[in-house]
A = this chain, B = another copy of it.
Amino acid sequence: MNKQSTVEIESAAHVLKLLGDKTRLTMMKLLQANECCVCEFVEIFEISQPAVSQHVRKLRDGGLVKETRRGQWIHYSINEESQHYELVQQLLHYLPGQEKHLEELQSKGLRIICK
């Protein structure tokens, strides 16, 4: 049994709802190992750029990710200060790595653009 603090059920439900979407869950798993920018997500998920922005905004509003502007690009990464960081990490461990998506980008030469 781990030592772990509890969180309110309502706030946990909110986090789980955020993660209960295939696109956002895959984003989080990707971010667990890599910073990503919006343009990469657009390529990976094959949805419009606004759709990606709306997903990352939800994750940001929920405190799960943070953004860092690098010139004209905005990179997203896991927010380790989140109240739910530990819970989310535990959860993500159960998911298979999503590096295949990044490798596919690389092979298309699309990973370089925001570097």
Contact = CB atoms under 8 A, between A and B. Distances in A.
Interface of A: 1-2, 4-10, 12-22, 25-26, 29, 86-87, 90-91, 93-96, 98
Given A90-B91, A94-B87, A13 B19 contact: yes
Contacts of A90: 90-91
Given A87-B91, A90-B91, A94-B87, A25 B13 contact: yes
Main secondary structure of the interface of A (DSSP, over half): helix
A16 B19 contact: yes
A86 B17 CA distance: 19
A95 B16 CA distance: 12
A2 B93 contact: yes
Nearest to A86: B94
Tell me which of A22, A26, A86 has the highest count of chain B C-beta atoms within 10 A of its own C-beta. A22
Contacts of A95: 6-7, 9, 12
A7 B93 CA distance: 10
B19 A20 contact: yes
A52 to B, nearest CB: 17
